[in-house]
Structure 1
Amino acid sequence: MMDILMYLFETYIHSDAELQVNQDELEDELLRAGFDQKDIYKALVWLEELAALQQGELESAISVSSSASTRIYTTQEMRRLDLECRGFLMFLEQVSVLTTETREMVIDRVMGLETSEFELEDLKWIVLMVLFNVPGNENAYTLMEELLYTHEQGLLH
């Protein structure tokens, strides 16, 4: 599922391709690209839920706290987000890439993935997708993008 999300993000978002794509055409394209129908469906549902978060439709699922509070992770969240991932989320909050609201959106979308394996690199892509989809986070998105690509070039440890 992460492969499909990354493919869609790079193809339609990052490349400034046409964003108004018919869902049937998109499914056909993903099938031609070699993705499994079941995984395509899951990825499209995941994206719909991200859009719902952005529109505030799932606000009841995300309780936002003050910036002075500390986030306590559930057992399930700790299983999915290892210490390195949780530390990275804290770092992104400290450098103002994530707010408490966008952090909770990221965690919600991480938990919405149906995958047994999840790594820091996956988290970085989820952060980018969330920031891209939430209006008013253009500067945070640009900073996150710089962090991601600087790290890929070996400049960030």
Structure 2
Amino acid sequence: MFDILMYLFENFIHSESEIHVDQDELTEELVRAGFHHDEIYKALAWLEKLAALQETDIKPYLTKGAVASVTRVYTHEEEMRLDVECRGFLMFLEQVNLLDGATREMVIDRVMEIDAAEFCLEDLKWVILMVLFNVPGKENAYAQMEDLLFDEHDGVLH
């Protein structure tokens, strides 16, 4: 499923191709690309839920009047999916204001819905990029996250 999400992001969304593609046409293209129908439907449902998260004003995971410097306590299931490195990266992104509480929770929600046995920091970065791309007003955060994902530093950093 995650491979399909990355394929869609790289080939349609990130490349700024026509996003309003007929779902049947998209499914057929993904089948031609070698993906299975059940995984395609899971990926498309994942994207629909992402769109629904950013369209609603209701944030069940945020408390009214919550303080910005709240420490996020992870459930056992979240800790099993997001290792220490991933949780630390999320905290870092909040500290540098690339993520706020709402976008962090959207990221965690989408991570928990990914049907994959393994999940690593690189996968998390892609999920963050997909979430930021879909949240209006987060264009600058998206660009900065894109730089973090794609900029490879050669040699020793000073």
TM above 0.5, yes or no, is: yes
TM-score, normalised relative to structure 1: 0.93
Which residue of the partner structure matches residue 52 of structure 1?
52
Which consecutive segments of 4 or more residues in structure 1 shift more than 2 A? Answer: 57-60, 62-66, 152-157
Which residue of the partner structure matches residue 35 of structure 1?
35
Which residue of the partner structure matches residue 63 of structure 1?
62
Q: Percent identity?
A: 61
Q: Give the CA RMSD over aligned residues.
A: 1.7
Residue identity opposite 1:63 in structure 2: L
- Aligned equivalents of 1:71 and 1:156: distance in 2? 33
Query: Which protein has the larger Cα radius of gyration, Structure 1 or Structure 2?
Result: 2
Give 1:66 shift.
2.4
Which residue of the partner structure matches residue 26 of structure 2?
26
Across the two proteins, how many residue pairs are aligned to each other?
A: 155
TM-score, normalised relative to structure 2: 0.92
In structure 2, do the counterparts of structure 1 residues 31 and 104 end up closer, same or farther at CA, with 3 Å as the change threshold?
A: same
Indicate if the aligned counterparts of 2:59 and 2:102 stay in contact, CA closer than 8 A.
no
Indicate if the aligned counterparts of 2:132 and 2:142 stay in contact, CA closer than 8 A.
yes
1:2 aligns with 2:2: yes
Q: For structure 1, which runs of at least 5 residues remain unmatched after alignment? A: none
Indicate if the aligned counterparts of 2:2 and 2:115 stay in contact, CA closer than 8 A.
no
Q: For structure 2, which runs of at least 5 residues remain unmatched after alignment? A: none
In structure 2, do the counterparts of structure 1 residues 156 and 44 end up closer, same or farther at CA, with 3 Å as the change threshold?
A: farther
SS of aligned partner of 1:16: coil
In structure 2, do the counterparts of structure 1 residues 114 and 156 end up closer, same or farther at CA, with 3 Å as the change threshold?
A: farther
